[in-house]
Amino acid sequence: MSAQTSDLSHDQEKGAIVHEAALPVEVSPEDAIVRRCGRFGPVLAKLFASGVEARGVERVPEDQRETKNMWNNLLMWWSVNTVLTTIPIGTLGQAFYTLTLPHAIATILCFGALGGIATAFISTLGPKTGLRTMIITRFSSGYVGGTIYSILNILTQLGFSVTAVILGGQTLASINPGTLPLVVGIIIIGVLSVIPCFIGYHLVHYYERYAWMVIFTIIMFLWGLGGHAGFDLNAQKPLEDTGRSLSADVLSFGGIVFGSVTGWAPVAADYNCRLPADTSSMKVFLLTFFGLWIPICFVEILGAALMTISDPTYTQAYADGSTGGLLAQVLSPWGGGGKFLLVLLGLSVVANNIPNSYSAGLSMQSLGRPFALVPRFAWTVLAFVIYTVAGVAGREHFSEILSNFLSILSYWTAFFIAIVAEEHFIFRRRGGPLGGYSLDDWDTPGRLPVGIAGILAGCFGVAGAVVGMSEVWYTGPIAKKAGSEFGADLGFELAAGFAAMTYPPLRWVEIRLTGR
């Protein structure tokens, strides 16, 4: 970046100020990596010249921003969520919580909207800062706190990837049982996912801009074929709980839905940080919100509706082959054509798994300077190896992995969002204690917040999750009182609430004592 005079820009919509300090000419990420890699430098130079992205967690300067991917704030998330992996989340409402279809639909719409609002807010910080999401957390929780969040996000994205490759592999294997081993199906999904992530940002955006078109059509076919088989609104009525037990089921399923949306919050700014700094925050917010909420609700409700088909053939297909088996049965009236659509549906998880793989690599770089020295694409390949091996190992326990993973996921994303939002609106606002972001300090621990306030507030968030969670293996004391036999999962609500109440006073004290 060329030297520039001090600049102070103010975002009118969000009230946060961004400080830009004068800097010397910046070495490009490509040149920096080539120089420090010695004998491998020429090889990497050719790799970058061929189109592989070199930039990792480094901030994108204003003079290197671009406007061409604005609508991908909607289209990318539409593609990512109009996929096979979203369907089984909807099935959990009946499979685990015995909700009728109307109650499942209401839960998906309400908790999905709540998660969409939170995630869309995080996405507005990408253009504003030019930073990846995990680096943004350093401005509230310090360098050490940012590292902790990076670890959590690595586990989150790898967990998402494991569920994606298992479900995609199950679906491919169910097309002609006995022909394609499940392990091979998992590996195929993993390999197809890592290719665009290896190349980088632009290919990711190009693929996600168009991937939704074919799969959205197939989802419509599934709605039609499922309706022809017979949706039964009262199928779960005899099994549904009442009173406190019903409210507990709604809250627990709602936590899963919330987690399925906010699982994208820790990566939301990774895919628009190259947009101009003066990009409308409201436009980014609305495009991201609808890009998440509409497809997630539409597809999760499909999963819930398919579970109401009472034909024994369909119920047995789900019992034998989980969601993949049920979808194969739904498409079976179309014979060979149905099998072809099932192949496309199985491959659709690639669109869902791409951001998991890409952002897992970025989060590994965000662990600290030594990790950032390793090229982004190397971490992406490592992430691919980890989640593929884990998918093969856990391939027989998909539903259990999905249910427990998404519930726990909603806990940490809830307090992460609360802390980042309070930092932005209270302490970084115009006229606030800090008056904005000193973005050039993103990798300077001595100029970032100490992080004690953010880390302690996060610990309080964990405490809220512990007393409010309701899992198969543990039920917190508040969760027990809120529900009946199995309790009500209030983990994400209490995690966000505990963190939101404690962060402002702790951060105020931190600023008073340290000045940052």
Secondary structure, 3-state, 176-204: CCCCCCHHHHHHHHHHHHHHHHHHCHHHH
The full DSSP string for 25-90 is PPPPHHHHHHHHTGGGHHHHHHHHHTT-----SS---GGG--STTTTHHHHHHHHHHSSGGGHHHH
Report the distance separating Cα 443 and Cα 452, nearest Å.
17
CA distance 98 to 253: 10
Whole-angstrom distance, CA of residue 516 vs CA of residue 513: 8
For residue 329, how many C-alpha atoms fall within 13 Å in the half-sphere facing its CB? 22
Q: Which residues touch 171 (CB under 8 Å, ≥6 apart)?
A: 84, 185, 323, 324, 327, 328, 342, 345, 346
CA pseudo-torsion sign 340, 341, 343, 344: positive
Task: Annotate 397-445 with three-state secondary structure.
Answer: CHHHHHHHHHHHHHHHHHHHHHHHHHHHHHHCECCCCCCCEEHHHCCCC
pLDDT of residue 404: 62
Q: Show the tokens assigned to 178.
A: 């006995």
Handedness of CA 37, 38, 40, 43 (dihedral sign): positive
pLDDT in tens, 214-223: 999 999 999 9
CB 54 within 8 A of CB 375: yes
Task: Give, in degrees to the nearest 5, the angle at Cα 169 between 269 and 323.
Answer: 90
How confident is the model at residue 282, as a pLDDT?
96
Q: Residue 194's closest CA among 36, 19, 391?
A: 391
pLDDT < 50 stretches in the chain: 1-15, 20-25
Q: What is the DSSP letter of 275?
A: S
3-state secondary structure of 125: helix
Tell me the pLDDT of the chain averaged across its residues.
87
**232: number of CA atoms within 13 Å, CB side?**
14
- Give me the pLDDT at residue 401, please: 61
Distance, in Å, from the CA atom of 142 to the CA atom of 146, rounded to the nearest integer, reads 6
